[in-house]
């Protein structure tokens, strides 16, 4: 939300010179326009205007701090800001702030985009933004954020719309005597919020407009207001005065954004309904517990049904051949004991059909890495919380995996396990379930099947087949390794300084003689400590 009283009013956008058709066949997540951007035009201060030779306009606005915006001849733009209480940069259709607006009836608004972002903010909305008149409404289609919008600020859920590969929740809120296009006024806000963030894709804007009109039908409703009260207001979507792709960040915000692909149309291609994919276990066979659930083998099914993901987070970095393009929003990477889920974001989740063969209390161990922070995996079973698994992470290192552990009681039978990633940038290799006290068949599994080819399936049963190293030295860079006992039980992380001995580090940490399994990346070594 911003203070419009400080913005000079500017006329309508010039007629466009670029092709009007929005080619949905173009994949904005893969295509780049940066090399053909054309001339860059800097924007000074709070300013609105037209992008010459196109159908679009631009706007930059800020409250406090410093900022800059550059837009290009093809509509792409970049911006950065520092210590702003509120900042926005946007490009798209402008029909005049004080005019009658444009009816959305018979239109087909769409947008295709790709961008990268940095920074942090107390709040932020990234997606489609605009205003209507008759009545005055401020609206958002939120595809990404700096912190996910709370109902305290966007109001209660009014419905849902499934479009563009996700089920958005629809919310309404009243701004009570706040700044608007007409000065201080009381007006309705409408939000469509995507369940998990994405940084590229196709937005069928018209589908949201149509759904809002269908849902509201002009009736009155009593809603919470920005003044911590409630008021009755008409739920109606009017004529649009602007339809724009926007990044907004506020609350001491500092960051940047760079849109390398942009197209917006009044007569674009509507999104096709997603094809129905039958839900079933990966490969048609449920994972058996006690045993290991491989993170990359989540259930087959539609987006939002068996998995979520951050679409466009990694571009072509993920292995899309393993699961196919139907699951392209989940990035599968090489890591851990083979393949892992990578390039993840907060609140991303995946579901797995499992078959528990024995009742009992289970030890749980998830093999994870995070090069930016500590984190947590939240596990649920059949929709009920099961366990919370915490880990420390190793700064700048996604190759060193560690085990996040916990316990849970499971009952025999078929269930649905959900793994929710609570922190950005967490790689997940597997989650292993061992029946408590079973150190034979399952207890040594980390040392063998998942711990590396040298570990030995039953706690080092085959340990004598390879020589036991008396010592191991690090290179020029310090490394953090995972340490297991010969029964495959995770003992902890040990940081070994550059050029020093793993043997000495183990002795200092555990102070017990014996043989330890030391895992660095996907390599497992046996180290004897005297």
Q: Catalytic residue positions?
A: 138, 248
Q: Which of 93, 90, 91, 95 is nearest to 124 (CA)?
A: 90
Query: What is the phi/psi pair of residue 302, to 5°?
Result: -80, 155
Sequence-distant (≥ 6) Cβ neighbours of residue 274 within 8 angstroms: 162, 165, 302, 303
338 φ, ψ (degrees, to nearest 5): 165, -95
Give the H or E element holding residue 154: helix 151-154
Cβ–Cβ < 8 Å for 98, 239: no
Residue 376 CB-density burial (10 A; 0-12 exposed, 13-18 middle, 19+ buried): middle
| Alpha-carbon distance values, 457 to 365, 437, 442, 462, 517 (Å) | 16, 16, 8, 8, 13
Can you tell me the distance from the alpha carbon of 431 to that of 28, in angstroms, rounded to the nearest whole number? Answer: 34
Q: Of the candidates 517, 350, 326, which has an alpha carbon nearest to the alpha carbon of residue 431?
A: 350
What's the DSSP call for residue 64?
A: S
Q: Phi/psi class of residue 359: alpha, beta or left (left: φ > 0; alpha: ψ in -120 to 50)? A: beta
- Rounded Cα gap, residues 42 and 44, in angstroms: 7
- CA nearest 312: which of 52, 91, 29? 29
Compute φ and ψ for 508, nearest 5 degrees.
Answer: -65, -35
> Is 282 strand, coil or helix?
helix
Beta-bridge mates of residue 496 = 479
How many CB atoms within 10 Å of residue 241?
22
């Amino acid at each position: 939300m911003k203070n419009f009283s400080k913005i000079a009013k500017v006329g309508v956008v010039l007629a466009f010179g670029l092709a009007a058709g929005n080619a949905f066949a173009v994949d904005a997540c893969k295509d780049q326009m940066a090399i053909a951007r054309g001339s860059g035009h800097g924007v000074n201060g709070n300013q609105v205007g037209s992008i010459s030779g196109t159908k679009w306009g631009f706007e930059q606005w800020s409250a406090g701090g410093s900022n800059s915006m550059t837009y290009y001849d093809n509509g792409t733009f970049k911006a950065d800001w520092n210590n702003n209480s509120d900042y926005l940069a946007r490009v798209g259709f402008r029909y005049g702030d004080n005019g009658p607006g444009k009816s959305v009836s018979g239109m087909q608004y769409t947008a295709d985009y790709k961008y990268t972002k940095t920074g942090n903010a107390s709040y932020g909305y990234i997606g489609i933004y605009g205003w209507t008149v008759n009545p005055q409404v401020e609206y958002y289609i939120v595809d990404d954020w700096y912190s996910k919008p709370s109902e305290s600020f966007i109001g209660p859920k009014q419905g849902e719309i499934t479009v563009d590969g996700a089920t958005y929740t629809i919310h309404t809120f009243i701004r009570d005597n706040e700044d608007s296009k007409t000065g201080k006024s009381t007006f309705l806000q409408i939000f469509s919020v995507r369940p998990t963030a994405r940084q590229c894709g196709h937005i069928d804007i018209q589908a949201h407009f149509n759904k809002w009109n269908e849902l509201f039908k002009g009736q009155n409703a009593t809603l919470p207001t920005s003044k911590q009260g409630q008021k009755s207001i008409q739920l109606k979507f009017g004529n649009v005065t602007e339809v724009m792709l926007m990044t907004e960040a506020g609350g001491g915000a500092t960051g940047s954004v760079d849109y390398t692909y942009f197209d917006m149309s009044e007569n674009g291609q509507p999104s096709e309904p997603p094809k129905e994919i039958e839900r079933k276990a990966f490969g048609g066979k449920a994972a058996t517990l006690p045993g290991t659930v491989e993170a990359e083998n989540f259930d087959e099914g539609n987006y939002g049904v068996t998995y979520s993901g951050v679409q466009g987070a990694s571009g072509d970095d993920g292995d899309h051949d393993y699961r196919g393009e139907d699951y392209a929003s989940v990035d599968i990477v090489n890591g851990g004991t083979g393949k892992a889920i990578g390039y993840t974001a907060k609140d991303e989740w995946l579901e797995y059909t499992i078959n528990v063969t024995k009742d009992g209390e289970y030890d749980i161990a998830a093999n994870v890495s995070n090069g930016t922070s500590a984190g947590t995996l939240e596990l649920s079973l059949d929709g009920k919380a099961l366990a919370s698994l915490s880990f420390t992470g190793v700064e700048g290192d996604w190759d060193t995996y560690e085990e996040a552990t916990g316990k849970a009681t499971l009952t025999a039978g078929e269930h649905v396990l959900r793994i929710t990633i609570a922190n950005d940038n967490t790689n997940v290799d597997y989650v292993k379930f061992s029946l408590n006290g079973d150190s034979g068949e399952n207890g040594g599994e980390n040392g063998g099947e998942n711990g590396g080819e040298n570990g030995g399936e039953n706690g080092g049963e085959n340990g004598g087949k390879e020589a036991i190293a008396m010592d191991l030295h690090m290179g020029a860079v310090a490394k953090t390794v995972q340490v297991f006992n010969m029964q495959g039980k995770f003992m902890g992380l040990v940081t070994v300084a550059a050029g020093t001995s793993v043997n000495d580090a183990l002795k200092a940490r555990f102070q017990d003689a014996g043989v330890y399994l030391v895992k660095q990346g996907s390599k497992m070594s046996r180290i004897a400590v005297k």
